[in-house]
Every structure is written in C-alpha cells, then in structure tokens.
Amino acid sequence: MPDPRSLRSVSVIVPTYQEAAALPRLIARVAALRDQQPLDLELIISDDNSRDGTEEVVRAAGHSWVRLLVRTTDRGLSPAVLDGIHLARHDWLFVMDADLSHPPEVIPAMLDELERGADFVIGSRYVTGGSTDADWGLTRWLNSKVATLLARPFTAAHDPMAGFFGLHRRTFLQAEDLNPIGYKIALELIVKCRCQRLAEVPIHFVDRQVGESKLNVREQLKYIMHLRRLFIFKYPNSSYVLQFAVVGASGTVVNLGVLTLLLRAGWREAVAIAGGILVSFLTNFVLNRRFTFSYARGDGWPSQLLGFAGASALGMITNYAAALAFRGRFPGLPIQIAALVGIAAGMGLNFVTSRYLVFRKPRPAPVPPPASSPPAGEAELTVSVKEQQSR
C-alpha cells in the first residue's frame, strides 16, 4: 500500500439529476483509477433530490470515499457544482458528468497540468487528440461550436463549454460574485476566478449511454443570459455604455412611432411631439432600470424616475449647447454634424449621471464562509447544504 503522504489528494464533483442508472459504472471506473494511480480521491455526487434510487446506489457501493449530497433547494447543475466544491475535503477540485461522457482516467494528466502552473484545466474535445463519438450529431456539434464562438470575448480556450475541468481551491476562492445560470459553470469560473493560464487535455467524448441530455431551448436561453452577466462583469463600463446606447436607440424608435400614431389620430403637432418625447422618456427609464442598471432595481423607482428626468433634462441642455458651440467653431460643416456632436455630448453626460447618481450600484454584502465539511464516514449521505448552514 502506498504511503498516504505520497498520494495526490483530489475531490471529484459530479452533479446529477435522475442518473442513478449511470452511477454504478462511474463508481467502478473511479475505483479502478484509485487502484491504478497514487490518488487519495473522493467522489462527491451532488444530486438534485432525484428520488430515483441514487441514495441506494451510493449505499450499495459501500465506499467511504463516495459521498452523496442531496440538494433540496436552489436546484440546477451550476449550483450543484458549487455546493459540491464547498463540501469537498481536498484542494485539487475536478468536475465531470455522471454518464461517463468524460473519461475519469484522464484526471491524472489534467492534474499534471495544474501542478505545472495552470490556473484551470479542461478535458477538451477540440484540441489535437480530442474527439467525439461519430454519432454525436451535427445539431449538437453545431450548437457547441456556436456557444464556443459566443464565449470568445471571455476566453481563448478551444472547449470552454466542457463539463470536465479542474482547478485548485485557491483559484476557486479568488472568484468574485459567482452567480451562474444554466449549465456552463466552467465559463463562469474561468471568468470570475480571473484565470490566465488555461490548459486543455484531449479527451474522447463519449455520447451518453443512459439517461437524457439536459440541454434544451430553455437552457440555451439561459446561456445567452449568462453571457450578458459575464460581459457586465468583465467589461462593466463598456457593457453599460452599450446597453445605454441600445436603449437610447429604442427610445428614438418609440418616439417616432408615438409621434406618427398621434398625428394620424388627429392630434396637433405640438401635442404629438410632446407625447412622443414623454413616452420614449418613460420607456427609456423602464428599460435602463430593468436591463442596463438592473443592479439598482431594488431601490425605490419614484426617486429614480425623478433623478432620471433631471439627468435627461441636463443631457438635453448639454446636447443643445454642444451643438451650438460646435456649429460656431466649424460653421462650414453641415449642421447635422453639429447635431450629432451635441447628441454624443448629451448622451455621455446622461450616461454618467444615470450610472453614478440615479442608478447607483449598492455596496456588496459580505459573503459568509461556506459550511465546514463533516467528518469522514462510510458511504456518507448529506442532506442539503442550505439546511446544514441553517442548523
């Protein structure tokens, strides 16, 4: 028997939902890996209260290194991974699927990359030597490639959509404001942990033999929402400016649309113009509060509405003054150029006052430390991280 001090300590977290049929094969493969490699490896099954026999499978396995976390709140793949990490006893943390799409035998090679200095390692389908089953399907391949392309502003990794990855606990503890949505937890950790040195180890991705894929249209929409969150996190000022500009452009469309409708309804021009301005002002406020500065939705809207009205009025005055000043400085240029300069100046001031005065970002609340891991036990069963923290 190898000296325990010479073993590399690894925690493998497996998020599951109704995958009891896959667990015996997974546990057997991991057990073989433990026998063949100098690893002190624990396997954490983080299950979303499947009630499909998962608990019985873990008990029947009879291994003290297999632990089951039954989650009864905040269900979802990404929260399941995070709760499993918080429960892990070891510092080298790996995540993989239960259906053996990811070969556990590659974990030692991935661990080698981390020990050589990588912040984050991915079991990759898309690097040299990686592959997928021939019957994986064009639709799934295309979906994966498009999702990878959309993630390009955040990482140059070839396979950031992978569910097979590893990192050290100290890297995980560097994470800021973790709020994953959907199933792409790897991308969340790469961005929020500010990982700079990524490594990818080739794997052969095997299509699942039991169970059903959790990927559907709803999850794809969640992915788009997730990308928006990550863009705001990584490029905060640029994202706010872009969203503010999009809302402003939509306000122009609303303004012209309301103006046209009121004129067709027989309203006087002066009233129709005022109506278009008022409605577009209100839609701009609602959209900026809901999307651009969504972090401020918890504050009272009446005071924000008054502040936004003041900021908009100041922006319009700046717009007018800047246009006149530019026109006076360059009288030979078309007046439309002066108008565009005024619009840019007014929008810039409107953005600054909205961002830092009207929709101020609240101070983040302190994050409580995770619950300490319970002592080792035989085929251990744990019920809900949330319940543990409240006891």
* DSSP string computed for 131-146: EE-TTS-HHHHHHHHH
Q: Tell me the C-alpha distance between 268 and 15, whole Å.
A: 63
pLDDT band at 203, cuts 50/70/90? very high
Give yes or no for residue 372 having a pLDDT over 70.
no
State the Cα torsion 113-115-119-123 to the nearest 10°. Answer: 30
pLDDT band at 216, cuts 50/70/90? low
Most confident of 108-117, 245-254, 263-272, 345-354: 108-117
Tell me the pLDDT tens digit for each residue of 180-192.
776 679 999 999 9
Instruction: Name all contacts of 145-149 with Cβ < 8 Å and 24+ positions apart.
Output: 147/184, 147/223
* CATH topology (fold) of 4-234+368-390: Spore Coat Polysaccharide Biosynthesis Protein SpsA; Chain A (3.90.550)
Residue 388 has what pLDDT? 38
DSSP E strands in 48-203: the ranges are 66-70, 92-95, 120-124, 131-132, 165-168, 198-202
Q: Tell me the C-alpha distance between 19 and 29, whole Å.
A: 16
Give yes or no for residue 219 having a pLDDT over 80.
no
Residue 384 has what pLDDT? 43
The residues spanned by each domain of the chain are: 4-234+368-390, 236-358
pTM for the model: 0.71
DSSP E strands in 146-194: the ranges are 165-168
Residue whose structure tokens are 């999009």: 246
Average per-residue pLDDT in the chain?
A: 83
Residue 326 has what pLDDT? 83
Lowest mean pLDDT among 70-74, 118-122, 195-199, 367-371: 367-371
Tell me the pLDDT tens digit for each residue of 269-309.
888 888 888 888 899 899 999 888 888 887 888 999 999 98
